[in-house]
Structure 1
Amino acid sequence: MSTFTTADGCNLDYHIAGSSQRTLVLLHGWSQSRAMFDRVIPLLARHYRVLSYDQRGHGESGHPTHGARIARLARDLDELLTHLGIEQADLAGHSMGASVLWSYLDLFGSAKVASLIIIDQPSACTVLPWLNKTEAAQVGAILDFPGAEAFCKGIVGPDAAAVRRNFLVSMLTRQISDEDLAWLYQENLKLDGDFGSRLLLDHIMQDWRDVLPRIDVPTLVIAGEVSHVNPASQKWSAEQIPGARLRTFTAEEGGSHFPFFERPEPFAAALCSFLDAWSAPRARAASVS
């Protein structure tokens, strides 16, 4: 484990595995941690240099009271890449981590991005005022405003432990073992409720649809057949990104929200198949066109 301090004073705990010249960066989701990739990293590190890190407020990284915004997390990623001298990398974001990558592209462009992997994340989570019913269904928006408010309040309310555990269970297959569930829940609780609630609200109020058509790097969109995220929404996202590929994991392949944890072998194989289809990183434009 190594630590990097961001410009605003937050320590980020990161880990590098593998010695390839090609770097793959893994970004975890809300209330999760880089440790959730530990089962798949050894499989990926045979082929790539794998960088994983705890985003601010999560896992073993610093737990500041400031920066509970997707845009700040995107800047953290940019600062970490600069600190490590990574000129270009393949970027994979799971759940909220995908939102961080969309924000990164929106803010910094694709010059440092060799390819993009979006893992089970809607381009909009909440039925925002400008989304009609058909559009909301297409993008996978599952929360209305009262539901979003209730969820964020629940994270800091008297039943917070149950709210967080129930949400976690909803993202897993029924085959998950008690031991695995207990471990995942403990990782979840490393995120402070107040910071987590504010970050969650910022996350679920974003609308990334305008970013998708402007993505100019090879992209893989990953869906889960039995995920709480409607797989049809991931198909829709892939259709909006020029040349994007779609890979839907079946229930037998661990096709819920955490395929890399529940079934790391098929997940690693899918990533390797996608990444190996592209040669060494190529020069990119400085911004999303």
Structure 2
Amino acid sequence: MTSNFITTPDGVRLHYTQDGPSSGPNVVFIPGWVQTAAQFKKQVAHFKQKFHVTTYDHRGHGESDKPAYGYRVSRLAADLEFLLKELDLRDVALVGHSMGSSVIWAHWDLFAHDRIKKVAFVDQAPSITADPAWTPEQAAEAGSVFPAGQRFELANALRGPEWRAAREGLTRSFFSPDLAAEDLAWTLGQQMKAPREVAAAMMLDHGAADWRDVIPRIDVPALVVAARGSLFPVASLEWVGRQIKGARVVTFEKEEGGFHFMFWENPDKFNRVLEEFLLE
């Protein structure tokens, strides 16, 4: 495995890793909110046999620099664009989990798509915060888990004096009740690498976005992965799948690790589903 850094035009070092044959198809795994590249280790171990696998830490996350600026999804999309060009990655399959999917949507909205061959969106709703005028059905389709204003309450809790407890509680809700204590401890250790101000700022920006005008413009093969036990309604992921011509939607049931981190709780099925999609 190669572990190194690139420096963005605004002077931020981003940590990345690469593994697998350089001649293999390119796949880039994009972490979610306060996650690190290391949380894809079960995918890297599997896909490095056939694929050229790249993972990286967003600014403010993991081993990357943690400046006092740039904590918007659009800025993370610009970082992704720089990474693709700096590492000269072509015919890439982008796999985004949670906020990582939003980074792909922002990238699609802002930059050329000539390097992107396929996309996979793993358990991310298109609009997290509900419009007060929406019906419950509309909110479920958009995947809006926050009433208007709640993202501010959560962000304030994430940066306040009890920020550790707030982050731990939120993280615990992402997993099944059966998650091993050591797995939760390891995950929290990774996520705590993002300072509380970073966590709060990204939650505010991520929670405000509405990607429903971007998603129908995606014109490359797409995989959408939903989870029955996730905070995000399955209906919202099904909506994403209907907007992209030919997209495949796969739903994990609760009894098969179907929670927000299904790629961790059931890596065998996740890796099989993703590999089938990548090799089509």
TM-score bin (small chain): over 0.9
Q: Which residue of 1 is the match for residue 28 of structure 2?
A: 25
Give 1:87 shift.
Answer: 2.5
Query: Equivalent residue of 1:38, what SS?
Result: helix
In structure 1, the gaps of 5 or more residues are 278-289
Q: How many residues align?
A: 277
Match of 2:163?
Answer: 160
Q: Distance in 2 between matches of 1:228 and 1:129?
A: 19
Matched, 1:109 2:106: no
4+ residue runs over 6 A deviation: none
Distance 1:205 1:85 in 2: 32
In the alignment, structure 2 segments of 5+ residues that lack a partner are: none
User: Per-residue deviation at 1:39?
Assistant: 1.5
| Aligned partners of 1:56 and 1:64 also within 8 Å | yes
> Which among 51, 54, 76 is matched to residue 73 of structure 1?
76
User: What letter corresponds to residue 18 of structure 2 in structure 1?
Assistant: I
Per the alignment, in what secondary structure is the counterpart of residue 143 of structure 1? coil
Verify: 1:199 aligned to 2:220, yes or no.
no
The Cα of 1:253 is off from its aligned counterpart by: 2.8
Structure 1 residues 251 and 129: alpha-carbon distance in aligned structure 2, compared to 1, 3 A threshold: closer
Aligned-partner residue type, residue 129 of structure 2 = T
Cα drift, residue 229 of structure 1: 1.4
- Distance in 2 between the 1:242 and 1:131 partners? 26
The 5 Å alignment of 1:106-145 reads 106-128=109-131, 131-145=134-148
Taking the aligned partners of 2:188 and 2:229, their CA distance within structure 1 comes to 20
Report the Cα offset of residue 203 of structure 1.
Answer: 0.6
Contact 2:24-2:50 at 8 Å conserved across structures: no
Q: Which structure 2 residues correspond to residues 1-289 of structure 1 after superposition, within 5 A? A: 1-19=3-21, 20-128=23-131, 131-277=134-280
Could you tell me how far 1:128 is from its partner in structure 2?
3.2
Shift of 1:79: 0.4
Distance across 1 between alignment mates of 2:135 and 2:228: 25
Alignment TM-score, normalising by the size of structure 1 = 0.93
Q: Which moved more, 1:21-30 or 1:132-141?
A: 132-141
Greater RCO, 1 or 2 (C-alpha within 8 Å, sep 6+): 1
Shift of 1:139: 1.3
- SS of residue matched to 1:145: coil
Q: 1:129 Cα shift? A: 5.6
* Alignment-mate amino acid for residue 174 of structure 2: M
After TM superposition, the score normalised by the length of structure 2 is 0.96
Once the 2 structures are TM-superposed, how far is the Cα of residue 21 of structure 1 from its aligned partner?
2.8
- CA change 1:218–1:130 in 2 (3 A) is farther
Asked whether the equivalents of residues 110 and 217 of structure 1 are also in contact (C-alpha less than 8 Å), the reply is no
